[in-house]
Chain A
Amino acid sequence: MSIKLENISYVYSPGTAYEHHALKDVSLEIPQGQFVGIIGHTGSGKSTLIQHLNGLMKATSGKLLYEGQNIYEDGYDMKKLRTQVGLVFQYPEYQLFEVDVLSDVCFGPKNQGLSKEECEKQAREALELVGFPEKYYKQSPPFELSGGQKRRVAIAGILAMHPKVLVLDEPTAGLDPKGRDEILDQVKLLHEKTGMTVILVSHSMEDVAKYVERLIVMNDGEKMLDGTPEEVFRHYKELEAVGLAAPQVTYVMHDLKEKGFDVSADATTVEEAADEIYNFLKKRQEVQS
Chain B
Amino acid sequence: MHGTPKEIFSRVDELKKYRMDVPQVTMLADALIQKGVPLPKGILRREELVDALCQLS
Contacts and interface: CB of A to CB of B under 8 A. Distances in A.
Interface stretch (A69-77, A156-164, A254-262): A254-262
B32 A278 contact: yes
B20 interface: yes
A182 to B, nearest CB: 10
B31 A248 contact: no
B46 A248 contact: yes
Contact of A252 (B19, B28, B37): B28
Contacts of B35: 274, 278
A144 interface: no
> How would you classify the secondary structure of chain B's contact residues: helix, strand, loop or mixed?
helix
Interface string A202-216: 000010000000000
Interface in B31-47: 31-32, 35, 37, 46-47
A251 B49 CA distance: 11
A178 B18 CA distance: 9
Contacts of A178: 16, 19
Given A255-B46, A278-B32, A270 B24 contact: yes
B37 A281 contact: yes
Contact of A259 (B21, B24, B46, B54): B54
Contacts of B56: 281
Contact of B25 (A177, A252, A259): A252
Interface residues of B, number: 20
A153 interface: no
Interface in A220-251: 247-249, 251
Contacts of A255: 46-47, 50
Given A177-B19, A177-B21, A252-B46, A261 B53 contact: yes
Contact of B50 (A177, A256, A271): A256
A274 B31 contact: yes
Interface in A173-204: 176-179
5 contacts: A178-B16, A252-B49, A270-B28, A274-B35, A277-B53
Interface of B: 16, 19-21, 23-25, 27-28, 31-32, 35, 37, 46-47, 49-50, 53-54, 56
Interface of A: 176-179, 206, 247-249, 251-252, 255-256, 259, 261, 270-271, 273-274, 277-278, 281
**Nearest 10 interchain pairs by C-beta:** A274-B31, A178-B19, A248-B24, A177-B21, A255-B50, A270-B27, A278-B35, A176-B19, A270-B28, A248-B25
